Structure 1
Amino acid sequence: MAASDVSDLVRPWNLGTPTEVTRPDRGTNNLVWLVQVAGDTFVLRVHRNAGLEQIALEHVLLAELGRRELSFAVPAPIPAHDGRTVVPTNLGPASLYRRLPGDHPPRDTAGLMLTGQALGELDAALADVDAELAPIDWRRALNAIHPAVPDLDELAADLDRELSSSAETTWFERQVRDIDARVREWRTKLPTQVIHCDFGPSNLLVENGTVTGVLDFELAGLDLRAFDLAAALGQSTDELATEQVEAFRAGYDRFITLSAAEGAALPDLVAQRALGSVIWRAGRWRQGLSTVAEVADRLTSAYRLAHCGL
């Protein structure tokens, strides 16, 4: 997209004419640009997975977190000239933020300890947030993860056909039939709260050894507290490598002490999250927003992750 087109997208914010427009080297769900205007850098996001109402609720949650005494920043949506923080465009709902300082941390021991510590601090703060502020209620079955995938048996058959029958497709077909029952049981026993739901080094900013920002609250919603840790371990480690998990947990445990039951639930939660990731990508594939190769990559990663021990 040309810089002039991005200038049209940011016009509702009366920023002036951008002097430079670039795309960050990450992100597969939304359209994101870094926009420089008069020496300031802004992040323009065009949302592809959420509507105006959900994004507005996300912004309410961000405002609530912005009032907490966190050691790091969270994105603060900038109101457009009419006061709205999310604006409809021909590409989808758009929102604008000032760029937060920092870079993504490495997956070494120090970086993972910082990542785990940031999640622990965030989850401790989110525990005090009213559940009514959750933009999404994730306490749902896998067939409600993505609107384009209501029938998991049908998806399993599609994957078996498109990707050729394999250990991965067989595992997917079997797991989607019983993981919901196990997770449903855990949801009757374990603490529920608002969680980030997509936490990992790619959504964290660090500068000079200090966490400066936590990003991407688009999937934040209501679910088991332990799901945040399960999702983060899957995204932050190399297939749950023991040393990496230990480093992450050392940071997380500074703020959150999981119960024995939550610890026992983690393998099921990791598996459910991995399956959900495949289903989400498959839904985007059916919508023409992802390729079948991307679905295959998610399936392979999910299969390997679910077969690692915690």
Structure 2
Amino acid sequence: MATLAPFLPGRTSERSTPERAADAGAALALLDQALASVSGYSLPKDIRTLLPFGDLAGRNLLVPDLAVALGQLPVDQEAIRQLQITLTQHMAQVDALYATLPQQLLHRDFDTSNLLIDEHGVTAVLDFEFAAPDIRVLDLSVALSWWPVSRMGTGTEWEIIDSLGRAYVSEFPLTEAELVAIPAMMRIRQFASLQHRIGRYLSGLEQDNAIQNAIKSAQWRFTWLTANQDTLIEHALKWL
């Protein structure tokens, strides 16, 4: 099958600056405002059947139990044990998040590679393959986990985080409870991503080194969150 489509102007952002992060936050807020108006009953069937990222037991038939799957990987077992502990602690609060926080249709993969920008600002948002209903603050949380990624751990990540978060909330206000949940939402997205990568590995689509790198990346992100989640919440509450 062949298709024709117009060539969209702009390019992906090679590096994140406060100005680019603010543009991205405002664009994501406008997108989420539009997606909020879409009724669940009008969604295509293939989108309605995509499960929330927090539903790890049902999202991937190859990895129905992420804790068990982690133990089967060719990775240092102490690293796996630490991830399993983090997973257990995380899953204890997931049901409460889905029971209490607003949900709507979301993009769910808003990183630097899925946005086109030119000298005037954002020109397009790309890649809606993960779009589905989920907890509303997840979109902002995913963006906050990716846009400052090259700066995380340096102390300079906060100017990117604040620029993006403040721009988003100024266009699409969130509740205090949603902003406090941002670290937990980052973990939801990271564990869903890790489950996806393990599924690819078990299917033979990725080699040992790829899954080992995925585990290292997850460890690095969780370590940053553990050290910085209180500071992240403090920053987020100032966006109100």
Q: Same fold (TM over 0.5)?
A: yes
For residue 130 of structure 1, report the CA deviation from its aligned partner. 0.8
- RMSD over aligned CA atoms reads 1.9
Instruction: Give the aligned partner of residue 89 of structure 2.
Output: 178
Instruction: Give the aligned partner of residue 75 of structure 2.
Output: 163
Match of 1:227 among 126, 132, 138: 138
For residue 140 of structure 1, report the CA deviation from its aligned partner. 4.8
TM-score where L is the length of structure 2: 0.83
Structure 2 Cα separation of the partners of residues 204 and 189 of structure 1: 30
Residue 213 (structure 1) aligned with residue 124 (structure 2): yes
Structure 1 gap ranges (5+): 1-8, 14-41, 43-96
Residue 278 (structure 1) aligned with residue 207 (structure 2): no
Residue 248 (structure 1) aligned with residue 158 (structure 2): no
Q: Structure 1 residues 291, 99: CA separation in 2 closer, same or farther (over 3 Å shift)? A: farther
Match of 2:34 among 108, 125, 143: 125
Q: Deviations over 1:118-162 (max 9, x none)?
A: 111111111111123160231652232322111223212113xx0
Structure 2 Cα separation of the partners of residues 282 and 150 of structure 1: 11
Match of 1:137 among 51, 69, 79: 51
Q: Which has the higher strand share?
A: 1
Any idea what SS the aligned residue of 2:214 has? helix
Instruction: Give the aligned partner of residue 300 of structure 1.
Output: 216
Instruction: Give the aligned partner of residue 235 of structure 2.
Output: none
Structure 2 gap ranges (5+): 233-240
Q: Which has the higher helix share?
A: 2
Structure 1 Cα separation of the partners of residues 178 and 62 of structure 2: 31
For residue 196 of structure 1, report the CA deviation from its aligned partner. 0.3
Residue 100 (structure 1) aligned with residue 11 (structure 2): no
Q: Is the deviation greater in 176-185 or in 267-276?
A: 176-185
* Count of matched residue positions in the alignment of Structure 1 and Structure 2: 215
Match of 1:198 among 109, 116, 130: 109
Q: Structure 1 residues 266, 100: CA separation in 2 closer, same or farther (over 3 Å shift)? A: same
Higher relative contact order (CA 8 A, sep 6+): 2
Q: Structure 1 residues 151, 217: CA separation in 2 closer, same or farther (over 3 Å shift)? A: same
Structure 2 Cα separation of the partners of residues 209 and 260 of structure 1: 32
